[in-house]
Amino acid sequence: MPAFKVIVVGAGPVGLVAGHCLTHAGIEFEILERRDDFDLNAGASTALWPDNVRVLDQLGLLDEARTLRIPYHSKICIRSDGSQISRSRMLAAVEELHGHPWMLFHRGELVDLLRRRLPESSTRIHTGKVVQSIQTNDKGITVTCADDTTHTGSMILGVDGVNSTIRRLIASQPTVPAAQKPSNTTPRPPPMKSSYVGLYGHSAYIPGAMEEGCFYETHARDMTFQVGVAAPTDKCYFACFKRLPHPTTAQHTFTDSEKDAFAASLADVHATTSLTFRELYARAQWSHMAYIEEGVATSPWSSDRIVLAGDAAHKMTPNAGLGLNCGIQSVVVLVNQLRWLLVQKPDSEPGEEALMGVFRAYEAERRKPAAEMVKLSATAMRAPAWRNRVWRFVDQYVLPRIGGDMLVLRYVFAMVVREGVPLDFLEERAFKEGTNGVRVVLINEFTVTGVVPV
Ligand SMILES: Cc1cc2nc3c(=O)[nH]c(=O)nc-3n(C[C@H](O)[C@H](O)[C@H](O)COP(=O)(O)OP(=O)(O)OC[C@H]3O[C@@H](n4cnc5c(N)ncnc54)[C@H](O)[C@@H]3O)c2cc1C
Ligand SMILES: *[C@@H]1O[C@H](CO)[C@@H](O)[C@H](O)[C@H]1NC(C)=O
Protein backbone atom coordinates (compact mmCIF):
# COMPACT_ATOMS: atom_id res chain seq x y z
CA MET A 1 0.00 0.00 0.00
CA PRO A 2 1.36 3.49 -0.81
CA ALA A 3 2.31 6.00 1.86
CA PHE A 4 -1.17 7.38 1.70
CA LYS A 5 -2.23 9.20 4.86
CA VAL A 6 -5.55 10.48 6.16
CA ILE A 7 -5.71 13.45 8.51
CA VAL A 8 -8.82 12.88 10.63
CA VAL A 9 -10.09 16.13 12.15
CA GLY A 10 -12.08 15.43 15.35
CA ALA A 11 -11.79 12.63 17.90
CA GLY A 12 -15.49 12.32 18.61
CA PRO A 13 -16.95 8.83 18.41
CA VAL A 14 -17.15 8.96 14.61
CA GLY A 15 -13.51 10.06 14.26
CA LEU A 16 -12.38 7.29 16.61
CA VAL A 17 -14.40 4.65 14.74
CA ALA A 18 -12.79 5.98 11.54
CA GLY A 19 -9.39 5.40 13.16
CA HIS A 20 -10.27 1.77 13.85
CA CYS A 21 -11.60 1.20 10.32
CA LEU A 22 -8.50 2.80 8.76
CA THR A 23 -6.21 0.70 10.98
CA HIS A 24 -7.85 -2.51 9.77
CA ALA A 25 -7.79 -1.27 6.17
CA GLY A 26 -4.03 -0.74 6.48
CA ILE A 27 -4.34 2.99 5.75
CA GLU A 28 -2.09 5.38 7.66
CA PHE A 29 -3.76 8.22 9.59
CA GLU A 30 -3.51 10.69 12.43
CA ILE A 31 -6.32 12.27 14.41
CA LEU A 32 -6.34 15.94 15.43
CA GLU A 33 -8.64 16.88 18.31
CA ARG A 34 -9.45 20.37 19.51
CA ARG A 35 -9.98 19.49 23.17
CA ASP A 36 -7.04 19.07 25.53
CA ASP A 37 -8.49 15.94 27.16
CA PHE A 38 -11.16 13.36 26.70
CA ASP A 39 -13.83 14.16 29.27
CA LEU A 40 -15.02 10.65 30.02
CA ASN A 41 -17.69 11.89 32.40
CA ALA A 42 -19.33 13.89 29.62
CA GLY A 43 -22.41 12.93 27.66
CA ALA A 44 -25.62 11.11 28.34
CA SER A 45 -26.16 7.65 26.96
CA THR A 46 -25.55 6.49 23.40
CA ALA A 47 -27.14 3.50 21.72
CA LEU A 48 -25.78 1.45 18.87
CA TRP A 49 -28.29 -0.34 16.66
CA PRO A 50 -27.40 -3.88 15.55
CA ASP A 51 -26.03 -2.89 12.11
CA ASN A 52 -23.27 -1.02 13.90
CA VAL A 53 -22.88 -3.70 16.56
CA ARG A 54 -21.79 -5.78 13.55
CA VAL A 55 -19.13 -3.17 12.84
CA LEU A 56 -17.92 -3.33 16.48
CA ASP A 57 -17.64 -7.09 15.99
CA GLN A 58 -15.59 -6.63 12.81
CA LEU A 59 -13.29 -4.21 14.63
CA GLY A 60 -12.71 -6.72 17.43
CA LEU A 61 -14.40 -4.51 20.03
CA LEU A 62 -17.58 -6.46 20.67
CA ASP A 63 -16.45 -8.59 23.61
CA GLU A 64 -15.40 -5.58 25.65
CA ALA A 65 -18.42 -3.57 24.50
CA ARG A 66 -20.65 -6.30 25.93
CA THR A 67 -19.14 -5.74 29.37
CA LEU A 68 -19.92 -2.00 29.18
CA ARG A 69 -23.41 -2.29 27.79
CA ILE A 70 -26.36 -1.22 29.90
CA PRO A 71 -29.05 -3.81 29.27
CA TYR A 72 -32.57 -2.66 28.50
CA HIS A 73 -35.67 -4.66 27.74
CA SER A 74 -38.72 -2.39 27.96
CA LYS A 75 -39.88 1.03 26.93
CA ILE A 76 -42.46 2.77 29.12
CA CYS A 77 -44.29 5.85 27.79
CA ILE A 78 -45.81 8.18 30.38
CA ARG A 79 -47.60 11.54 30.53
CA SER A 80 -46.26 14.57 32.38
CA ASP A 81 -48.19 13.53 35.52
CA GLY A 82 -46.51 10.10 35.51
CA SER A 83 -49.54 8.14 34.30
CA GLN A 84 -48.62 5.35 31.93
CA ILE A 85 -49.52 5.53 28.24
CA SER A 86 -47.97 2.24 27.14
CA ARG A 87 -45.36 -0.34 27.94
CA SER A 88 -43.65 -2.72 25.53
CA ARG A 89 -40.67 -5.08 25.32
CA MET A 90 -39.53 -3.15 22.27
CA LEU A 91 -35.87 -3.08 23.25
CA ALA A 92 -35.68 -6.83 23.89
CA ALA A 93 -37.35 -7.40 20.51
CA VAL A 94 -34.46 -5.71 18.70
CA GLU A 95 -32.26 -8.71 19.46
CA GLU A 96 -34.82 -11.21 18.14
CA LEU A 97 -35.19 -9.26 14.92
CA HIS A 98 -31.54 -8.58 14.24
CA GLY A 99 -29.55 -11.20 16.15
CA HIS A 100 -27.49 -8.53 17.89
CA PRO A 101 -29.03 -6.44 20.68
CA TRP A 102 -29.63 -2.70 20.92
CA MET A 103 -26.52 -1.73 22.89
CA LEU A 104 -26.69 1.31 25.10
CA PHE A 105 -23.56 2.80 26.67
CA HIS A 106 -22.54 5.68 28.86
CA ARG A 107 -21.21 7.88 26.07
CA GLY A 108 -17.97 8.48 27.96
CA GLU A 109 -17.37 4.75 28.33
CA LEU A 110 -17.96 4.13 24.63
CA VAL A 111 -15.54 6.93 23.73
CA ASP A 112 -13.03 5.53 26.23
CA LEU A 113 -13.29 2.05 24.69
CA LEU A 114 -12.73 3.46 21.20
CA ARG A 115 -9.78 5.56 22.32
CA ARG A 116 -8.08 2.96 24.52
CA ARG A 117 -8.31 0.16 21.98
CA LEU A 118 -7.04 2.19 19.04
CA PRO A 119 -3.56 0.80 18.26
CA GLU A 120 -0.78 3.35 18.84
CA SER A 121 -3.36 5.82 20.06
CA SER A 122 -0.78 7.91 21.92
CA THR A 123 1.14 8.69 18.74
CA ARG A 124 -1.87 8.84 16.44
CA ILE A 125 -4.25 11.04 18.45
CA HIS A 126 -3.05 14.60 18.99
CA THR A 127 -5.11 16.65 21.44
CA GLY A 128 -5.14 20.43 21.80
CA LYS A 129 -5.11 20.79 18.00
CA VAL A 130 -7.69 23.29 16.77
CA VAL A 131 -7.65 22.97 13.00
CA GLN A 132 -8.00 26.41 11.45
CA SER A 133 -6.97 26.29 7.83
CA ILE A 134 -6.13 23.92 5.01
CA GLN A 135 -3.79 24.23 2.04
CA THR A 136 -4.14 21.77 -0.81
CA ASN A 137 -1.64 21.09 -3.59
CA ASP A 138 -1.11 18.41 -6.26
CA LYS A 139 0.51 16.02 -3.82
CA GLY A 140 -1.63 16.41 -0.75
CA ILE A 141 -2.88 18.69 1.98
CA THR A 142 -1.47 20.56 4.92
CA VAL A 143 -3.59 21.67 7.85
CA THR A 144 -2.61 24.45 10.19
CA CYS A 145 -3.74 24.45 13.83
CA ALA A 146 -4.27 27.34 16.23
CA ASP A 147 -0.93 26.55 17.92
CA ASP A 148 0.78 27.11 14.52
CA THR A 149 1.70 23.45 14.07
CA THR A 150 1.12 21.94 10.63
CA HIS A 151 0.19 18.37 9.67
CA THR A 152 0.57 16.95 6.20
CA GLY A 153 -1.29 14.10 4.57
CA SER A 154 -3.01 12.91 1.40
CA MET A 155 -6.56 13.83 2.41
CA ILE A 156 -8.68 15.14 5.27
CA LEU A 157 -11.63 13.41 6.86
CA GLY A 158 -13.65 16.13 8.61
CA VAL A 159 -15.49 14.58 11.54
CA ASP A 160 -15.53 17.72 13.64
CA GLY A 161 -19.18 17.70 14.65
CA VAL A 162 -22.16 19.88 13.97
CA ASN A 163 -20.24 23.17 14.23
CA SER A 164 -17.78 21.83 11.66
CA THR A 165 -14.89 24.05 10.66
CA ILE A 166 -14.08 21.65 7.82
CA ARG A 167 -17.61 22.02 6.41
CA ARG A 168 -17.06 25.77 6.34
CA LEU A 169 -13.67 25.40 4.69
CA ILE A 170 -15.09 23.08 2.00
CA ALA A 171 -17.79 25.61 1.19
CA SER A 172 -15.18 28.32 0.75
CA GLN A 173 -12.82 26.19 -1.38
CA PRO A 174 -12.53 27.33 -4.97
CA THR A 175 -14.38 24.58 -6.86
CA VAL A 176 -14.28 26.75 -9.99
CA PRO A 177 -11.07 28.53 -11.01
CA ALA A 178 -10.60 31.66 -8.93
CA ALA A 179 -10.73 33.84 -12.04
CA GLN A 180 -14.32 32.83 -12.74
CA LYS A 181 -15.49 33.50 -9.22
CA PRO A 182 -17.08 36.73 -8.09
CA SER A 183 -14.40 38.06 -5.77
CA ASN A 184 -16.56 39.85 -3.24
CA THR A 185 -18.36 36.82 -1.84
CA THR A 186 -17.15 34.69 1.05
CA PRO A 187 -19.43 31.67 0.84
CA ARG A 188 -20.33 30.13 4.18
CA PRO A 189 -22.72 27.23 4.49
CA PRO A 190 -25.79 28.14 6.49
CA PRO A 191 -25.55 26.63 9.98
CA MET A 192 -28.08 23.89 10.59
CA LYS A 193 -31.45 24.87 11.98
CA SER A 194 -32.78 23.94 15.45
CA SER A 195 -36.45 23.67 16.34
CA TYR A 196 -35.79 22.12 19.76
CA VAL A 197 -33.44 22.75 22.64
CA GLY A 198 -32.14 19.93 24.82
CA LEU A 199 -30.84 19.41 28.36
CA TYR A 200 -29.13 16.08 28.87
CA GLY A 201 -26.77 14.29 31.20
CA HIS A 202 -26.60 11.72 33.94
CA SER A 203 -27.64 11.56 37.59
CA ALA A 204 -26.98 9.33 40.56
CA TYR A 205 -29.24 6.31 40.64
CA ILE A 206 -32.31 6.76 42.82
CA PRO A 207 -33.30 3.42 44.32
CA GLY A 208 -36.95 2.53 43.96
CA ALA A 209 -37.76 5.43 41.65
CA MET A 210 -37.40 3.50 38.44
CA GLU A 211 -37.49 0.00 37.14
CA GLU A 212 -34.19 -1.43 36.01
CA GLY A 213 -33.89 -2.24 32.33
CA CYS A 214 -36.63 0.23 31.47
CA PHE A 215 -36.35 3.21 29.22
CA TYR A 216 -38.92 5.87 30.12
CA GLU A 217 -40.26 8.41 27.66
CA THR A 218 -42.45 11.31 28.78
CA HIS A 219 -44.91 12.53 26.17
CA ALA A 220 -46.36 16.03 26.49
CA ARG A 221 -47.21 19.10 24.49
CA ASP A 222 -44.06 20.42 22.76
CA MET A 223 -41.69 18.51 25.01
CA THR A 224 -40.39 15.03 25.68
CA PHE A 225 -38.04 13.33 28.16
CA GLN A 226 -36.08 10.14 27.83
CA VAL A 227 -34.73 8.49 30.97
CA GLY A 228 -32.88 5.21 31.34
CA VAL A 229 -31.45 3.41 34.34
CA ALA A 230 -27.99 1.88 34.34
CA ALA A 231 -27.91 -1.01 36.75
CA PRO A 232 -24.19 -1.79 36.58
CA THR A 233 -22.98 1.77 36.98
CA ASP A 234 -25.55 3.08 39.43
CA LYS A 235 -26.43 5.97 37.17
CA CYS A 236 -29.43 7.11 35.27
CA TYR A 237 -29.31 9.01 32.02
CA PHE A 238 -31.69 11.75 31.02
CA ALA A 239 -32.45 13.92 28.02
CA CYS A 240 -35.20 16.58 27.90
CA PHE A 241 -36.22 18.31 24.73
CA LYS A 242 -38.47 21.32 24.37
CA ARG A 243 -39.76 23.05 21.27
CA LEU A 244 -38.39 26.54 20.70
CA PRO A 245 -40.89 29.34 20.09
CA HIS A 246 -39.10 29.96 16.76
CA PRO A 247 -36.59 27.78 14.90
CA THR A 248 -33.09 29.24 15.04
CA THR A 249 -29.73 28.95 13.33
CA ALA A 250 -28.03 30.73 16.23
CA GLN A 251 -24.97 29.13 17.78
CA HIS A 252 -25.32 29.79 21.47
CA THR A 253 -23.41 28.44 24.46
CA PHE A 254 -25.88 28.18 27.32
CA THR A 255 -24.70 29.38 30.73
CA ASP A 256 -25.26 27.42 33.93
CA SER A 257 -27.95 29.83 35.01
CA GLU A 258 -29.79 29.44 31.68
CA LYS A 259 -29.53 25.69 32.13
CA ASP A 260 -30.87 25.80 35.69
CA ALA A 261 -33.73 28.06 34.62
CA PHE A 262 -34.63 25.64 31.85
CA ALA A 263 -34.53 22.72 34.31
CA ALA A 264 -36.73 24.68 36.72
CA SER A 265 -39.33 25.15 33.99
CA LEU A 266 -39.55 21.35 33.70
CA ALA A 267 -39.24 20.54 37.41
CA ASP A 268 -42.77 19.19 37.92
CA VAL A 269 -42.81 17.04 34.80
CA HIS A 270 -42.48 13.35 35.54
CA ALA A 271 -39.36 11.61 34.29
CA THR A 272 -40.57 8.19 35.45
CA THR A 273 -43.90 6.99 36.85
CA SER A 274 -42.93 8.02 40.39
CA LEU A 275 -40.21 10.63 39.91
CA THR A 276 -40.28 14.25 38.82
CA PHE A 277 -37.49 15.90 36.87
CA ARG A 278 -36.77 18.11 39.92
CA GLU A 279 -35.55 15.08 41.88
CA LEU A 280 -33.53 13.76 38.98
CA TYR A 281 -31.84 17.06 38.13
CA ALA A 282 -31.00 17.68 41.79
CA ARG A 283 -28.76 14.60 41.61
CA ALA A 284 -27.18 15.43 38.23
CA GLN A 285 -23.49 14.52 37.99
CA TRP A 286 -23.02 16.03 34.55
CA SER A 287 -25.38 17.96 32.29
CA HIS A 288 -25.30 20.12 29.21
CA MET A 289 -27.80 22.32 27.41
CA ALA A 290 -27.66 22.85 23.64
CA TYR A 291 -29.75 23.56 20.60
CA ILE A 292 -30.64 20.41 18.72
CA GLU A 293 -29.75 21.03 15.09
CA GLU A 294 -31.32 19.02 12.29
CA GLY A 295 -30.32 18.61 8.67
CA VAL A 296 -28.00 17.28 6.02
CA ALA A 297 -25.24 19.68 4.93
CA THR A 298 -26.57 21.44 1.85
CA SER A 299 -23.09 22.23 0.60
CA PRO A 300 -21.09 19.38 -0.99
CA TRP A 301 -19.54 16.92 1.45
CA SER A 302 -16.20 17.08 -0.28
CA SER A 303 -13.80 19.16 -2.32
CA ASP A 304 -10.08 18.96 -3.18
CA ARG A 305 -8.94 16.05 -0.97
CA ILE A 306 -11.35 16.91 1.86
CA VAL A 307 -14.44 14.93 2.84
CA LEU A 308 -16.97 15.07 5.69
CA ALA A 309 -18.71 12.44 7.81
CA GLY A 310 -20.66 12.26 11.09
CA ASP A 311 -22.54 15.21 12.55
CA ALA A 312 -20.49 17.54 10.34
CA ALA A 313 -22.39 16.13 7.34
CA HIS A 314 -25.70 15.00 8.84
CA LYS A 315 -27.23 15.96 12.15
CA MET A 316 -30.49 14.72 13.64
CA THR A 317 -32.60 14.87 16.78
CA PRO A 318 -31.40 12.24 19.27
CA ASN A 319 -34.72 10.58 20.18
CA ALA A 320 -34.34 7.58 17.91
CA GLY A 321 -30.65 7.15 18.77
CA LEU A 322 -29.55 7.31 15.15
CA GLY A 323 -27.02 10.18 14.94
CA LEU A 324 -23.85 8.29 15.78
CA ASN A 325 -25.18 5.21 14.00
CA CYS A 326 -25.56 7.23 10.82
CA GLY A 327 -22.03 8.59 11.26
CA ILE A 328 -20.52 5.12 11.67
CA GLN A 329 -22.34 3.95 8.54
CA SER A 330 -20.89 6.88 6.59
CA VAL A 331 -17.38 6.02 7.76
CA VAL A 332 -17.86 2.35 6.83
CA VAL A 333 -18.97 3.23 3.30
CA LEU A 334 -16.14 5.73 2.86
CA VAL A 335 -13.39 3.43 4.15
CA ASN A 336 -14.69 0.51 2.03
CA GLN A 337 -14.41 2.64 -1.09
CA LEU A 338 -11.13 4.27 -0.16
CA ARG A 339 -9.54 0.91 0.54
CA TRP A 340 -10.65 -0.45 -2.85
CA LEU A 341 -9.08 2.54 -4.56
CA LEU A 342 -5.80 1.96 -2.77
CA VAL A 343 -5.59 -1.80 -3.28
CA GLN A 344 -6.27 -1.44 -7.00
CA LYS A 345 -3.12 0.61 -7.50
CA PRO A 346 -0.82 -0.42 -4.69
CA ASP A 347 2.28 1.17 -6.22
CA SER A 348 1.11 4.72 -6.76
CA GLU A 349 -0.68 7.27 -4.66
CA PRO A 350 -4.11 8.12 -6.05
CA GLY A 351 -4.35 11.59 -7.53
CA GLU A 352 -6.94 14.19 -6.70
CA GLU A 353 -9.26 13.04 -9.52
CA ALA A 354 -9.38 9.46 -8.26
CA LEU A 355 -10.00 10.64 -4.70
CA MET A 356 -12.78 12.96 -5.78
CA GLY A 357 -14.34 10.01 -7.62
CA VAL A 358 -14.42 8.05 -4.36
CA PHE A 359 -15.76 11.02 -2.39
CA ARG A 360 -18.55 11.63 -4.91
CA ALA A 361 -19.54 7.96 -4.97
CA TYR A 362 -19.53 7.94 -1.17
CA GLU A 363 -21.71 11.03 -0.94
CA ALA A 364 -24.07 9.64 -3.58
CA GLU A 365 -24.48 6.47 -1.54
CA ARG A 366 -24.89 8.16 1.85
CA ARG A 367 -26.90 11.34 1.22
CA LYS A 368 -30.24 9.60 0.79
CA PRO A 369 -30.11 7.24 3.81
CA ALA A 370 -28.77 10.12 5.94
CA ALA A 371 -31.66 12.35 4.86
CA GLU A 372 -34.09 9.53 5.67
CA MET A 373 -32.60 9.15 9.14
CA VAL A 374 -32.87 12.90 9.73
CA LYS A 375 -36.55 12.67 8.77
CA LEU A 376 -37.22 9.59 10.84
CA SER A 377 -35.51 11.19 13.84
CA ALA A 378 -37.56 14.35 13.31
CA THR A 379 -40.75 12.31 13.60
CA ALA A 380 -39.39 10.46 16.64
CA MET A 381 -39.11 13.89 18.28
CA ARG A 382 -42.35 15.43 17.09
CA ALA A 383 -44.72 12.53 17.75
CA PRO A 384 -44.07 12.14 21.51
CA ALA A 385 -43.81 15.95 21.75
CA TRP A 386 -47.36 16.06 20.38
CA ARG A 387 -46.56 18.52 17.66
CA ASN A 388 -50.21 18.63 16.63
CA ARG A 389 -53.60 17.39 17.81
CA VAL A 390 -53.50 14.32 15.62
CA TRP A 391 -50.28 13.13 17.24
CA ARG A 392 -51.63 13.97 20.68
CA PHE A 393 -54.65 11.76 20.11
CA VAL A 394 -53.02 8.96 18.13
CA ASP A 395 -50.11 8.75 20.55
CA GLN A 396 -52.28 8.35 23.64
CA TYR A 397 -55.30 6.44 22.40
CA VAL A 398 -54.49 4.64 19.15
CA LEU A 399 -50.85 3.54 19.29
CA PRO A 400 -51.06 1.89 22.75
CA ARG A 401 -53.97 -0.28 21.56
CA ILE A 402 -52.23 -1.54 18.45
CA GLY A 403 -48.77 -2.00 20.00
CA GLY A 404 -47.42 1.14 18.34
CA ASP A 405 -43.82 0.91 19.58
CA MET A 406 -43.50 -2.68 18.34
CA LEU A 407 -44.99 -1.77 14.98
CA VAL A 408 -42.64 1.17 14.57
CA LEU A 409 -39.72 -1.07 15.47
CA ARG A 410 -40.70 -3.83 13.06
CA TYR A 411 -41.78 -1.74 10.08
CA VAL A 412 -39.65 1.37 10.41
CA PHE A 413 -36.45 0.92 12.42
CA ALA A 414 -35.91 -2.71 11.46
CA MET A 415 -35.97 -1.70 7.80
CA VAL A 416 -33.26 0.92 8.37
CA VAL A 417 -31.10 -1.44 10.44
CA ARG A 418 -31.42 -4.20 7.87
CA GLU A 419 -29.96 -1.94 5.17
CA GLY A 420 -26.87 -1.27 7.30
CA VAL A 421 -23.54 -1.86 5.56
CA PRO A 422 -20.63 -3.72 7.20
CA LEU A 423 -16.97 -3.28 6.31
CA ASP A 424 -16.32 -5.30 3.15
CA PHE A 425 -12.87 -6.52 4.13
CA LEU A 426 -13.30 -7.87 7.67
CA GLU A 427 -14.95 -10.97 8.98
CA GLU A 428 -17.80 -10.96 11.47
CA ARG A 429 -16.80 -13.40 14.13
CA ALA A 430 -20.18 -13.22 15.85
CA PHE A 431 -22.27 -13.08 12.66
CA LYS A 432 -26.01 -13.13 13.36
CA GLU A 433 -28.90 -12.41 11.10
CA GLY A 434 -31.93 -12.54 13.40
CA THR A 435 -35.39 -13.13 11.99
CA ASN A 436 -35.25 -9.97 9.92
CA GLY A 437 -32.22 -10.75 7.74
CA VAL A 438 -29.21 -8.51 7.16
CA ARG A 439 -27.03 -7.35 4.31
CA VAL A 440 -24.12 -9.72 3.89
CA VAL A 441 -20.71 -9.22 2.44
CA LEU A 442 -18.81 -12.28 1.32
CA ILE A 443 -15.15 -11.67 1.84
CA ASN A 444 -13.13 -13.09 -0.96
CA GLU A 445 -11.70 -11.95 -4.26
CA PHE A 446 -15.17 -10.67 -4.95
CA THR A 447 -17.52 -8.72 -2.78
CA VAL A 448 -21.17 -9.53 -2.98
CA THR A 449 -23.60 -7.36 -1.14
CA GLY A 450 -27.22 -8.24 -0.80
CA VAL A 451 -30.01 -8.80 1.64
CA VAL A 452 -30.43 -12.27 3.04
CA PRO A 453 -34.00 -13.30 2.32
CA VAL A 454 -36.12 -13.64 5.45
C1 LIG B 1 -28.61 13.66 24.34
C2 LIG B 1 -28.08 12.97 23.12
C3 LIG B 1 -28.24 11.60 23.01
C4 LIG B 1 -27.78 10.95 21.87
N5 LIG B 1 -27.99 9.61 21.78
C6 LIG B 1 -27.59 8.95 20.67
C7 LIG B 1 -27.81 7.55 20.56
O8 LIG B 1 -28.38 6.91 21.45
N9 LIG B 1 -27.38 6.93 19.43
C10 LIG B 1 -26.78 7.62 18.41
O11 LIG B 1 -26.43 7.00 17.40
N12 LIG B 1 -26.55 8.94 18.50
C13 LIG B 1 -26.93 9.62 19.60
N14 LIG B 1 -26.71 10.96 19.69
C15 LIG B 1 -26.00 11.65 18.60
C16 LIG B 1 -24.49 11.48 18.73
O17 LIG B 1 -24.06 11.93 19.98
C18 LIG B 1 -23.77 12.24 17.63
O19 LIG B 1 -24.33 11.88 16.38
C20 LIG B 1 -22.27 11.91 17.64
O21 LIG B 1 -21.68 12.37 18.80
C22 LIG B 1 -21.59 12.51 16.44
O23 LIG B 1 -20.23 12.21 16.52
P24 LIG B 1 -19.15 13.02 15.72
O25 LIG B 1 -17.86 12.33 16.05
O26 LIG B 1 -19.56 13.18 14.30
O27 LIG B 1 -19.18 14.49 16.32
P28 LIG B 1 -18.85 15.02 17.78
O29 LIG B 1 -19.22 14.02 18.80
O30 LIG B 1 -19.44 16.37 17.88
O31 LIG B 1 -17.26 15.14 17.79
C32 LIG B 1 -16.59 16.11 17.04
C33 LIG B 1 -15.19 16.26 17.61
O34 LIG B 1 -14.45 17.16 16.80
C35 LIG B 1 -13.74 18.06 17.61
N36 LIG B 1 -13.51 19.29 16.85
C37 LIG B 1 -14.43 20.23 16.50
N38 LIG B 1 -13.87 21.21 15.78
C39 LIG B 1 -12.55 20.91 15.65
C40 LIG B 1 -11.44 21.54 15.03
N41 LIG B 1 -11.57 22.70 14.36
N42 LIG B 1 -10.21 20.95 15.11
C43 LIG B 1 -10.06 19.78 15.77
N44 LIG B 1 -11.08 19.13 16.39
C45 LIG B 1 -12.31 19.68 16.33
C46 LIG B 1 -14.64 18.25 18.80
O47 LIG B 1 -13.93 18.71 19.94
C48 LIG B 1 -15.20 16.84 19.01
O49 LIG B 1 -14.38 16.04 19.83
C50 LIG B 1 -27.15 11.66 20.83
C51 LIG B 1 -26.95 13.04 20.96
C52 LIG B 1 -27.41 13.69 22.09
C53 LIG B 1 -27.21 15.18 22.20
C1 LIG C 1 -21.70 24.07 18.83
O2 LIG C 1 -21.52 25.40 19.23
C3 LIG C 1 -22.41 25.85 20.23
C4 LIG C 1 -22.18 27.34 20.43
O5 LIG C 1 -20.83 27.66 20.54
C6 LIG C 1 -22.22 25.03 21.52
O7 LIG C 1 -23.10 25.44 22.54
C8 LIG C 1 -22.45 23.57 21.19
O9 LIG C 1 -22.21 22.78 22.34
C10 LIG C 1 -21.52 23.14 20.04
N11 LIG C 1 -21.81 21.77 19.69
C12 LIG C 1 -20.90 20.83 19.66
C13 LIG C 1 -21.37 19.45 19.39
O14 LIG C 1 -19.72 21.04 19.87
- Tens-place pLDDT, residues 118-138: 999 999 999 999 999 999 988
Q: Whose CA is nearest to atom 4 of ligand 1?
A: 318
- The answer as to whether 427 is a domain residue is yes
Please report which confidence band the pLDDT of residue 212 belongs to, taking 50, 70 and 90 as the band edges.
confident
Domain count, the chain: 1
Q: What is the pLDDT of residue 231?
A: 66
Instruction: Looking at the CA of residue 251, tell me the nearest atom of ligand 2.
Output: 4
Residue scoring higher pLDDT (299 or 377): 377
Please check the confidence at residue 102 and state whether its pLDDT lies above 70.
yes
Q: Whose CA is nearest to atom 6 of ligand 2?
A: 253
Range of the domain at 314: 5-75+104-191+296-395+421-445
Please report which confidence band the pLDDT of residue 234 belongs to, taking 50, 70 and 90 as the band edges.
confident
Please check the confidence at residue 172 and state whether its pLDDT lies above 90.
no
- The answer as to whether 155 is a domain residue is yes
Please report which confidence band the pLDDT of residue 147 belongs to, taking 50, 70 and 90 as the band edges.
very high
Please check the confidence at residue 424 and state whether its pLDDT lies above 60.
yes
Share of residues in the chain with pLDDT > 90 (%): 82
Q: What is the pLDDT of residue 127?
A: 97
Q: Which amino acid is at 39?
A: D
- The pTM assigned to this predicted structure is 0.94
The CATH number of the domain holding residue 110 is 3.50.50.60
Please report which confidence band the pLDDT of residue 181 belongs to, taking 50, 70 and 90 as the band edges.
very low
Q: What is the pLDDT of residue 440?
A: 76
Q: What is the mean pLDDT of residues 287-295?
A: 97
Q: What is the mean pLDDT of residues 391-405?
A: 94
155 three-state secondary structure: strand
Please report which confidence band the pLDDT of residue 229 belongs to, taking 50, 70 and 90 as the band edges.
confident
Q: How far is CA 291 from CA 280, 294, 308, in A?
A: 21, 10, 21
Q: What is the pLDDT of residue 321?
A: 96
- The answer as to whether 335 is a domain residue is yes
Distance 338 CA to ligand 1 centre (A): 23
Instruction: Looking at the CA of residue 254, tell me the nearest atom of ligand 2.
Output: 7
Please check the confidence at residue 444 and state whether its pLDDT lies above 90.
no
Please report which confidence band the pLDDT of residue 442 belongs to, taking 50, 70 and 90 as the band edges.
low
pLDDT, one tens digit per residue, over 3-33 is 899 999 999 999 999 999 999 999 999 999 9
Cβ neighbour number for residue 85 with a 10 Å cutoff: 18
Q: What is the mean pLDDT of residues 287-312?
A: 96
Distance 164 CA to ligand 2 centre (A): 10
Q: What is the mean pLDDT of residues 236-246?
A: 97
Please check the confidence at residue 187 and state whether its pLDDT lies above 60.
no
Distance 162 CA to ligand 2 centre (A): 8
Q: What is the mean pLDDT of residues 258-280?
A: 97
Beta strands 125-126 and 439-441 are unpaired
Does 161 sit in the ligand 2 pocket, CB within 6 Å?
Answer: yes
- The answer as to whether 81 is a domain residue is no
Q: Whose CA is nearest to atom 9 of ligand 2?
A: 290
- The answer as to whether 59 is a domain residue is yes
Distance of CA 283 to the CA centre of its chain: 27
Q: What is the pLDDT of residue 220?
A: 97
User: Which H or E run includes 306?
Assistant: strand 306-308
Please check the confidence at residue 446 and state whether its pLDDT lies above 70.
no
Contacts 24+ apart (CB under 8 A), 128-137: 128/33, 128/34, 128/35, 128/36, 129/32, 129/33, 129/34, 130/34, 131/9, 131/32, 131/34, 131/160, 131/165, 131/166, 132/165, 133/169, 134/166, 134/169, 134/306, 136/173, 136/304, 136/305, 136/306, 136/352
Q: Whose CA is nearest to atom 48 of ligand 1?
A: 12
- Ligand number with the minimum distance to the CA of 380: 1
CA distance 188 to 17: 28
Does 255 sit in the ligand 2 pocket, CB within 6 Å?
Answer: no
Provide the 8-state DSSP code for 70. B
What's the chain's average pLDDT?
A: 91
Please check the confidence at residue 261 and state whether its pLDDT lies above 60.
yes
- Ligand number with the minimum distance to the CA of 159: 1
- The answer as to whether 430 is a domain residue is yes
Q: What is the pLDDT of residue 206?
A: 85
> In the Cβ-directed half-sphere of 306, how many Cα atoms lie within 13 Å?
32
- The answer as to whether 90 is a domain residue is no
Please check the confidence at residue 77 and state whether its pLDDT lies above 70.
yes
Q: Rounded to 5 degrees, what angle do the CA atoms 413, 109, 212 make?
A: 65
Please report which confidence band the pLDDT of residue 330 belongs to, taking 50, 70 and 90 as the band edges.
very high
Provide the 8-state DSSP code for 101. P
Q: What is the pLDDT of residue 174?
A: 59
Distance 42 CA to ligand 2 centre (A): 14
- The answer as to whether 28 is a domain residue is yes
Nearest partner of 38 among 143, 118, 155, 103, judged by Cα: 118
Q: What is the pLDDT of residue 232?
A: 55
Please check the confidence at residue 233 and state whether its pLDDT lies above 90.
no
